[in-house]
Amino acid sequence: MNARLVAAVLACATVATPTFAQTNHDARSAETIEVGQPLARFSLMQPATRLYLRYKVVGDSRQTIDIWRRQLRFEQQDGKKRMHIAWRWDSVGERKFTSTRDYWFEPGTFRPLTITRRLAEGDKVTVSGFQYLPDRIVGMADLPDNARKDFLQPAKIAPYAFETDMELLQALPLRSGYSVRIPFYEPGPDQPEPQLYTYRVVDSGKISAADGSTIDCWIVEMPSDHPEYGATRFWISKRTQVMIREETRLRDGSLFVKMLLTADSDVG
């Protein structure tokens, strides 16, 4: 990533935190979506490359963490059409690393198939890969150099891939008062088994994007399952349902932010 782009990204970190009205939780019970069912607004998910800035707000200061590129494509895999979400993180702090992830899904349903992670730090490269099955998540035995090939996690409920929740939200019928429970799982020590997470449309409002435009958004909230963390809030474009901004209050009181910087398609 060139120095000019990095400088522009760092400048964007000074964008003011948006304000929003008092939360009004919907008293109606949330619907639960199940892996494998067609999603109401999957057609909104079009090929795109989006760049996000991730940073922390501590008091009056802002600490840039990294730049996050997310690509969504539809490709052929083993003779079948698949949805492919590819990530790349480039650190901009003292710790220099590049992290990539490749997620493959069944189109229309968002059913996860495989995840491959690669972390390059100096001369060290760590590879881990997982396959999602209806009743378990397992390490990919045929993935070269897979450090997690012996991984096994039983699943009482078939989960979606947690770290693609912003894309999954794009495919749901967001509206005022909408509430949904989603089974999620991401292989790792922080989540020992698949579980249900509740997402609610708690408000709506306009937000200033990084390019200066104003976008009318749904504000979606996901309560944390850890009491020391605050709820996560998403600002999602009402028209395209692309995530514009995400905020989480961390245990140390700082604010963790993901902000859309640029995209190769109209997102507002």
Q: Could you read off the pLDDT of 64-118 as tens digits, one per residue?
A: 888 899 999 999 999 999 999 999 988 777 778 889 999 999 999 999 999 999 9
Which residues, including other chains, have CB under 8 Å from residue 87's CB and lie 6 or more apart? Answer: 68, 69, 70, 71, 99, 100, 101, 102, 103
pLDDT, residue 203, reads 97
Global pTM? 0.87
User: In this predicted structure, which of 12-26, 162-176, 200-214, 221-235 has the lowest mean pLDDT?
Assistant: 12-26
Q: What is the pLDDT of residues 188-206, one digit of tens each?
A: 876 788 999 999 999 999 9
Q: Is 180 helix (H, G, I), strand (E, B) or coil?
A: strand
pLDDT tens, residue by residue, 156-180: 999 999 999 999 999 999 999 999 9
Instruction: Please say whether the beta carbons of 24 and 176 come within 8 A.
Output: no
Q: Look up residue 8 and give its DSSP letter.
A: H
Tell me 5's DSSP state.
Answer: H
Rounded CA gap, 245 and 253, in Å? 19
> How far is Cα 183 from Cα 166, in angstroms, rounded to an integer?
14
Spell out the domain ranges in the chain: 3-263
Q: Which long-range contacts (CB under 8 A, 24 or more apart) does 62-71 make?
A: 62/13, 62/14, 63/93, 64/9, 64/10, 64/13, 64/92, 64/93, 65/91, 65/92, 65/93, 66/90, 66/91, 66/92, 66/93, 67/1, 67/6, 67/9, 67/92, 67/261, 68/258, 70/167
Q: Tell me, what's the pLDDT at 28?
A: 52
Helix (H) or strand (E) holding 113: strand 111-121
How confident is the prediction for the chain on average, in pLDDT?
Answer: 87
Tokens at residue 82, please? Answer: 């698949």
Percentage of the chain modeled with pLDDT above 90: 71
Say how far apart CA 100 and CA 81 lie, in whole Å: 22
Minimum mean pLDDT range among 22-31, 34-43, 70-79, 224-233: 22-31
Residue 92 has a pLDDT of 75
In this prediction, residue 44 has a pLDDT band, given cuts at 50, 70 and 90, of very high
Over 90: is that where the pLDDT of 136 sits?
yes
**What pLDDT is recorded for position 227?**
73
pLDDT reading at 208 higher than 80: yes
User: How do residues 146-159 score in pLDDT, each as one tens digit?
Assistant: 999 999 999 999 99
Q: Which amino acid would we find at residue 152?
A: L
The dihedral through the CA atoms of 175, 198, 242, 35 has a sign that is negative
Which amino acid belongs to residue 177?
G
Q: What is the mean pLDDT of residues 208-237?
A: 89
Element (H, E) at 167: helix 165-170
